[in-house]
A and B are shown apart, each in its own frame.
Chain A
Amino acid sequence: KAGVTQTPRYLIKTRGQQVTLSCSPISGHRSVSWYQQTPGQGLQFLFEYFSETQRNKGNFPGRFSGRQFSNSRSEMNVSTLELGDSALYLCASSLEAGKGNTIYFGEGSWLTVV
């Protein structure tokens, strides 16, 4: 069974640009969540989607947005990039939302903003 797949793995963007990251969950998983990981802040929750609906949102500005498609694949978008957005962006999937289901992480997308 294939794991969580994130693309691209590495990317470099310029301040002010926007970026879209993609996540394909494990087959059969309907919940997808996104996290930002930086050395200073650790793993910060961005948002969670379940059955194409945003279920929860972390404390991030509106420049960070996401969506989920009918096949459970998800994308997140960051507009007007800032230097501080440089981070590892991790996607995780689980069978259902909440309830202590095990979440499975992808390898992440490394974003560098210059």
Chain B
Amino acid sequence: SQKIEQNSEALNIQEGKTATLTCNYTNYSPAYLQWYRQDPGRGPVFLLLIRENEKEKRKERLKVTFDTTLKQSLFHITASQPADSATYLCALGNNDMRFGAGTRLTVKP
């Protein structure tokens, strides 16, 4: 069956460091992959989209990579700030969107 795994339930890092979140999947060939941010009690907010024929995408302090051979996406937040603290979800898409369970990132000042 299809499985989407995000590296860890929680990740704590120091302000200014780079946060790296992992999304692995099995038994799935997504046409695209998206990353979302979710704050407590709120709906997820779209951050980045990367398609299967793309290796890397950047947006300001965010970078996402997509390796269809490894079946893995890495999501990086550089120069992290306490305001980046949230849960980050990866979502794989073909005809529909399937989400990972999320990684709760805490950036400490």
Residues of A within 8 A of B (CB): 4, 33, 35, 41-45, 48, 55-56, 58, 90, 92, 97-98, 100, 102-108
In contact, B46 and A35 (Cβ under 8 angstroms): no
What interface size band does chain B fall in?
20 to 34
Q: Is there a chain A Cβ closer than 8 Å to B25's Cβ? A: no
Note all chain A residues with C-beta closer than 8 A to B44: 43, 90, 105
Scoring B residues 19 to 59 as 1 if CB is less than 8 Å from chain A, else 0, what string do you get? 00000000000011010000001111110010100000000
Chain B interface (Cβ within 8 Å of chain A)?
Answer: 31-32, 34, 41-46, 49, 51, 89, 91, 93-102
Q: Tell me the dominant secondary structure on chain A's binding face.
A: strand
Contacting residue for B46 out of A43, A56, A102, CB 8 A: A102
Ranked nearest first, the 5 interchain pairs of A and B with the lowest CB-CB distance are A105-B43, A42-B101, A43-B99, A100-B32, A56-B96
